[in-house]
Structure formats: C-alpha cells, structure tokens
Amino acid sequence: MRDFSGDTRLLALNTATVSKQWSLEQCIDGCVRHGIGGIAPWRDKLDACGAARAAGMIRDAGLRVTGLCRGGMFPAATAEAHQAALDDNRKAIDDAATIGAECLILVVGGLPEGSRDIADARQQVQDGIAAVLDHARASGVPLAIEPLHPMYAADRACVNTLKQANDMCDALGEGVGVAVDVYHLWWDPELEAEIARAGAAGRILGFHVCDWLVPTTDLLLDRGMMGDGVIDIPKIRGWVEAAGYGGCSEVEIFSQNNWWQRDADEVLATCIERHQTVV
C-alpha cells in the first residue's frame, strides 16, 4: 500500500466534516493552510459560494476536487417529482463540471412516498441515471454510485451493496462508477470480491473514510474519526489500492455531538494525524 506518513497530498476534506463550522471559502483556506491536497464540497456550501467563484478559488489554491456531493434521489411518486429530480441532477452535473470535480457522488434515493416496492425504487434509480447519463458524458463528469448502509434503504439509498452498484454500472455502461465508503460497506462479506470487480472495470471513483462507533448514538450523525471505531480501514484500503485505485482518501464525518462541536482547525489536524497513522 502507499505510504501516507508525512504526506497530506492524498488526503481530501469532504466539507461535511466541518459543515457546522466553516463555509466553503473557509474550507478551501483550511485545506491550503494544513497542506491537504483535495476537497469535496457539498452542494449547499457550493451554492452559498457560487460555482464559478468556487472554481476559481479552488484552482488558485491548487486543490483537487475529489467529488461533488451530491446528485441522486431519483425515485419519485409522481411524474412532476421525477422530472424535478432529473433537472436537479443535470444542474449538479453542470456544477461538478464547473468546479472540475473528478465525479458527482450519487446518493440514489429510497422508496417514493407511499411505496413499499424496493425493487421498483431500484429500477427507478437505474432509469434515472440512464436519463442523465448522456449529459454527464458530454460534460466530462463521471457519476459515482455510492451504496449506503441498509439502514438507509427506505429514505436515502435503496442501493446498499457494492454488488448492486456494480450490477447497475454493468447495465449502464461508460461514465458510471462507484464510490467506496467504509462507513457504509465495512460489514459486507462480499466487499473484497466486489472491490476487485469494480477495479477490474476501472470504475472506483472515490474512497471515503471515517469510522463506526460502538455504541453509536445516531445512525446518521454520529460517525467516528478514523481509528475511534471498529472498521478495519487499512484492510479495505488495501483492497481498494490492489484494485487499482490511486486517488485520495476523502474524510467524510457527520458528528453532531463531537467533531462538529470542535474547532475546525483541530478537526483537520486530527484528520491528518489519523490518515497518516490508522488509514
């Protein structure tokens, strides 16, 4: 595996990690001051800054944009909601292209209101990606399906395993890949094989790190700093790198009672230390 000790260039900050403390402008400045090599904005931060302005700031800072979070949320109960989702994803693709994002992360969406048909929701996801794929290809923005933990199947993402994401990629073709987030996938007994499968197809577009705390106080907003939980992050990183991934490790932590309450510079310093010692 690559040696991260003493090197911050292969670390990327997902702005969710300090979303309660900093604006996108402050995140960019913080990455520069700490020597962090990449950034992954969330769209609320990007909208507040403005995509064109953010693009210039990121370019001047010399940062990679490892991804834009997020597109997706395709399943819909009405034709109007379906069209709104497609329009929103096309805008997200345009914004990702503007800031030079290496991919647009897709949190694909759960069950439409009133539905209990998860198979139909998954088909809507595949159809929705297909509907915006030509626009993404023309814009030069790969779409990264991010499988989420099954606890989010109803409301956030009905694609819950890397196998499901790989199957969709096979069906959709060029321009679609996957993001491997250890928080969502560490439990999957097929993970090593599916990472190898994704790597063989050249479709690993992102590697996201944090940790699973035991006990956890909130399934959404209590992610741990790397090394504070039970995930064997180096093992998964080894699988991802063996599959050909050479990009950044993107730190994405939602932590309402801990890391969001701390000084943001302390958070970044801790991310760097943990990236070098436990990732």
Q: How far does CA 121 lie from the centroid of its chain?
A: 21
Bridge partner list, 152: none
- 135 within 8 A of 96, measured Cβ to Cβ: no
The reply to whether 66 falls in a domain is yes
Structural domain of 208: 11-277
The reply to whether 5 falls in a domain is no
The reply to whether 1 falls in a domain is no
The reply to whether 6 falls in a domain is no
d(CA 50, CA 73): 22
Answer yes or no: is pLDDT of 7 > 90: no
Average pLDDT, integer, range 71-82 = 98
Position 13 scores a pLDDT of 98
What Rg value do the Cα atoms of the chain yield, rounded?
Answer: 18
CA atoms within 13 A on the CB side of 225: 19
Report DSSP state, residue 234.
H
User: Number of folded domains in the chain?
Assistant: 1
> For residue 86, which amino acid is it?
L
Position 75 scores a pLDDT of 98
We report the CATH number of the domain holding residue 256 as 3.20.20.150
Q: Which residues contact 83 (CB under 8 A, 6 or more apart)?
A: none
- 125 within 8 A of 75, measured Cβ to Cβ: yes
Position 6 scores a pLDDT of 84
Classified as helix, coil or strand, 85 is helix
The reply to whether 265 falls in a domain is yes
The reply to whether 128 falls in a domain is yes
Average pLDDT, integer, range 78-98 = 98
Q: How far does CA 92 lie from the centroid of its chain?
A: 14
The reply to whether 2 falls in a domain is no
Q: What percent of the chain has pLDDT over 90?
A: 99
The reply to whether 256 falls in a domain is yes
Answer yes or no: is pLDDT of 176 > 90: yes
Average pLDDT, integer, range 150-160 = 98
pLDDT one-digit tens code per residue, 231-254: 999 999 999 999 999 999 999 999
Report DSSP state, residue 140.
T
List the beta strands (DSSP E) in the chain. 11-14, 38-40, 64-65, 68-72, 104-107, 143-145, 176-181, 204-209, 249-251
Answer yes or no: is pLDDT of 9 > 90: yes
What pTM was computed for the model? 0.98
**Per this entry, what is the length of the chain?**
279
Residue 120 backbone phi and psi in degrees, to 5? -65, -40
